[in-house]
A and B are shown apart, each in its own frame.
Chain A
Amino acid sequence: MKERTIVLPGEELNAGEFQPGPGTYRADGRIYASVAGILSIRAPIVRVIPFSGPYIPQHGDVVIAVVKIIGPTYWLVDVGAPHYAPLHYSGTPWKIEYGECGEYLRPGDAIVVRIEAVDQNQRIGVTMNGDGLGRINGGIIEQISPTKVPRVIGKSGSMIRLLETSTGARMTVGQNGRVWIDGSQSSIYQVRQALQIIDREGQRSGLTDRIKLFLEQSHSA
């Protein structure tokens, strides 16, 4: 395992010749960390991978949203960002008449959507047209820290595969830290437990081994 350094806000990163990336800032010619996290230097950019933090929507993110408000031609959905995002009816696979949005999605319904547009004020638009997008039926949604999403997915999806094959549950991981789990009661329960371990210990090394161990123990129990 390569050397991993924890940095804290205000800590100098001694990387003057690099470009300041996410989680850093430049002041009087030096680069400092702006969040607590793990230092990552990949020329020419130095960044800090945060331990925690808010979900910042990015173009193309697939996220799990909850419908909040029905409009005449759109819905307002909660994607875990500070503001609700509009989902226009043209962004759905259905043919909808003006004013009839409520017959397709009701407040409280969960949907998988993709972030389409993000402007400077972090106002976002979402769409439901695309592979793997659509309404969610059954299962549960678990919320973890958005910064731990890469650990839940694992290298090219290895962690998801591990969880799905050993529990039999089906999962969809949103970039906003919401995870939809569907399957039998016991498999959902196991995945939830595993997600809580990842949320708590995701920054430590040897995570996959610990999850494997946890799954084996819960199988034999």
Chain B
Amino acid sequence: MGSVGAKDVPELLDAHGKRIDGRGLHDLRPLKIEAGVLQRATGSAFVEWGENKVMAAVYGPREVHPRHMQQNTKAVVQCRYNMASFSVDERKRPGLDRRSQEISKVIGEALESVLFVEEFPKTSIGIYIEVLQANAGTRCAGLVAASVALADAGIPMSDLVPAVAVGKIAGKLALDLRKEEDNYGESDVPMALVPRSGRLVLLQMEGHMTRDELKTAMDMGVKGCEKIYEIQKAALRNRYSLGGNGGGEAQ
């Protein structure tokens, strides 16, 4: 990211209120989800969200490693978010860093809150999120992918978890920031919710927003999440279509 002089800042909103990629302030980037893309994992999903490409795989319930993390009354959710070295403009040094540790933690905790972990004591549910191409909003994309992968694995859960970020660009609130907007905008607020109960399971904020703006941003985020939720469900229905005579996929 680095610092840039004010003259280098791209024009995030044009005279007609359109964004760099032509979207309005309340529009999502195109989102495509496919469930069950990997053979070896218990469950999997691939998400293309704008220019983001994210793969999620789920294993388990299985034995806990390392053993001392085992819990006698519930399953532990072990989540790993990782960015491929080729996912960003300049080669990213591979492996865990401060940022991916944080994201692994918040995604794991968000998903643990919807999983029925008490049904699998002394086990571990492994969630692996690989970002193949990043263009802002990968923690949301990862969470969206991981929750579809968990449903594909058949692990009991109370609901799917859609997630989206709302940011502030050129003084206006905008849904689902892309890279330029994230880099040069004023604020970025990713959030995830459980649609059935309306419970928030992830809410972070970078930069500044006023109290009122945050309120509006959350309303926008909830609306965005509802749209994403429908796409997640469609992906799962597509995977398990009940076509009459074999072969046919999408209905």
Contacts and interface: CB of A to CB of B under 8 A. Distances in A.
Tell me if chain B binds chain A: yes
Interface of A: 4, 6, 8-10, 12, 23, 25, 27, 32, 34-37, 50-54, 82-83, 120-122, 147, 197, 201, 203-206, 210
A52 B43 CA distance: 9
A82 B123 contact: yes
Pairs of residues from A and B, 7 with the lowest C-beta to C-beta distance, nearest first? A53-B154, A10-B159, A52-B154, A34-B156, A82-B123, A10-B196, A82-B61
Contacts of A82: 60-63, 120, 122-123
B156 A23 contact: yes
B154 A54 contact: yes
Given A27-B158, A34-B116, A204-B246, 18 more contacts: A6-B242, A9-B157, A10-B159, A12-B196, A25-B156, A34-B157, A36-B152, A36-B240, A51-B240, A52-B42, A53-B153, A53-B154, A54-B61, A82-B120, A82-B123, A121-B121, A122-B122, A210-B245
B233 interface: yes
A9 B151 contact: yes
A9 B159 contact: yes
B242 A205 contact: yes
Contacts of B197: 27
Contacts of A12: 196
Interface string B157-181: 1111000000000000000000000
Q: Is the interface of B mostly helix, strand, loop or mixed?
A: loop
B123 to A, nearest CB: 4
Contact of B237 (A6, A32, A83, A197): A6
A10 B160 contact: yes
Contacts of A50: 154
B233 A53 contact: no
Interface residues of B, number: 36
Q: Is the interface of A mostly helix, strand, loop or mixed?
A: loop
B50 interface: no
B233 A8 contact: yes
Pick from A53, A54, A120, A204 the residue with the most CB of B within 10 Å: A54
A197 B247 CA distance: 10
Contacts of B241: 204
B121 A122 contact: yes
A197 B122 CA distance: 34
B58 to A, nearest CB: 11
A203 B159 CA distance: 22
Given A10-B160, A82-B62, A36 B236 contact: yes
Contacts of B43: 52
Contacts of B121: 120-122
A206 B154 contact: no
Pick from A25, A27, A53, A204 the residue with the most CB of B within 10 Å: A204
Interface string B110-129: 00000010001111000000
B237 A8 contact: yes
B94 interface: no
Nearest to B61: A82
B242 A9 contact: no
Nearest to A4: B242
Contacts of A9: 151, 156-160
Nearest to B124: A82
Contacts of A36: 151-152, 154, 236, 240
